[in-house]
């Protein structure tokens, strides 16, 4: 089977060190397996998106030597595929419409199996899938499909064999496997990368305006990302050379050793 990996940024701001780590980790892993690496733009949440961020992220990735092997997939253009999966879940009676507020859900710890609020025909409901770990939303009140459903449909349609992403998404993984089983889709392998935290121990995030990486000088941040992933940093004069050498020496055991020590704190500014 040919390895197919992906990187799936949300266009909510510029690429920062935390997302660079996820990009580099997924890229070198894919290349070490002689596999494909595909970029998917998770532009499914218009209020959180920053105009121009998608193009900016793609340009930054290119400056860092990482380009998608296939046309970039934009989730905003995939409504029909998500709608089909949603209809399948409805037909299986695996989902229910829900008008509950957070306060109404509180006593149930997110697991209520059926809406406890009064049906309000004047308001659109969210749709939740029944799940042991919490009845999570797959279609939002505004009518958008939610991340959990979209990612499962896309990983399957793109034939992704291994998902490499930050450990912040660990608790999404069982939800996604649950959806894959309901929809009869294959489950890829999962590899969760250590998370880059700021000096206060918080995850670097685009919305918090974590310092963007400097695309005019990619080598220092690339070296820092490789070190962060527990990899030896080879000599190279440019980003593409550094990445391809790193891929040939990719050390999964070293990465997993780093991932086990949860207290990986770095400064927001990588160098
Ligand atoms: N869009 C998510 C993020 O930027 C990644 C989702 C995924 O890799 O499944 O954190």
Q: What is the pLDDT of residues 5-20, one digit of tens each?
A: 999 999 999 999 999 9
End residue of a domain, out of 89, 124, 147: 147
39 contacts 72 by C-beta, under 8 angstroms: yes
Q: How far is the CA of 269 from the centre of ligand 1 (A)?
A: 22
pLDDT at 105: 84
Minimum mean pLDDT range among 40-49, 91-100, 109-118, 162-171? 109-118
8 contacts 176 by C-beta, under 8 angstroms: no
pLDDT at 261: 62
150 contacts 8 by C-beta, under 8 angstroms: no
Residues 184-207 have pLDDT tens digits of 999 999 999 988 887 777 777 766
* Mean pLDDT within 255-262: 75
Higher per-residue pLDDT: 217 or 119: 217
Task: Indicate whether 69 and 88 sit together in one domain.
Answer: no
How far is Cα 211 from Cα 261, in angstroms, rounded to an integer? 24
By most ligand atoms within 8 Å of CB, the mutation choice from 5, 6, 7, 10 for ligand 1 is 10
Q: Is the pLDDT of residue 269 over 70?
A: no
pLDDT at 209: 66
Task: Provide the residue range defining the domain that includes 203.
Answer: 4-77+158-265
**Residue owning the nearest CA to atom 4 of ligand 1:** 9
Task: Indicate whether 64 and 115 sit together in one domain.
Answer: no
**Residue owning the nearest CA to atom 6 of ligand 1:** 8
Task: Indicate whether 105 and 213 sit together in one domain.
Answer: no
Residue 250 falls inside a structural domain: yes
Residue 21 falls inside a structural domain: yes
The CATH number linked to 119 is: 3.40.50.620
Q: How far is the CA of 122 from the centre of ligand 1 (A)?
A: 33
């Amino acid at each position: 089977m040919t390895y197919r990996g992906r990187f799936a940024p949300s266009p909510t701001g510029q690429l920062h060190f935390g997302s660079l780590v996820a990009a580099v980790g997924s890229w070198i892993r894919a290349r070490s397996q002689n596999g494909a690496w595909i970029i998917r733009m998770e532009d499914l949440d218009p209020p959180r998106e920053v105009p121009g961020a998608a193009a900016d992220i793609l340009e930054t990735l290119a400056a860092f030597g990482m380009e998608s092997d296939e046309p970039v997939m934009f989730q905003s253009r995939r409504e029909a595929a998500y709608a089909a999966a949603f209809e399948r879940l409805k037909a299986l009676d695996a989902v229910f419409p829900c008008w509950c507020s957070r306060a109404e859900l509180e006593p149930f710890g997110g697991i209520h199996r059926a809406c406890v609020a009064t049906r309000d025909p004047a308001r659109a409901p969210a749709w939740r899938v029944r799940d042991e770990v919490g009845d999570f939303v797959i279609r939002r009140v505004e009518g958008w499909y939610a991340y959990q459903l979209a990612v499962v449909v896309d990983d399957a349609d793109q034939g992704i064999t291994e998902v490499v992403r930050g450990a912040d998404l660990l608790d999404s993984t069982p939800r996604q496997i649950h959806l894959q089983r309901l929809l009869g889709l294959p489950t890829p392998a999962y590899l969760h990368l250590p998370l880059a935290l700021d000096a206060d121990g918080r995850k670097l995030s685009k919305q918090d305006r974590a310092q963007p990486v400097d695309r005019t000088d990619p080598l220092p941040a690339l070296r820092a990302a490789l070190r962060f992933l527990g990899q030896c940093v080879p000599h190279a004069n440019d980003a593409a050379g550094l990445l391809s050498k790193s891929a040939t020496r990719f050390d999964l055991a070293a990465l997993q050793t780093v991932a086990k020590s949860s207290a990986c704190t770095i400064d927001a500014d990588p160098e």
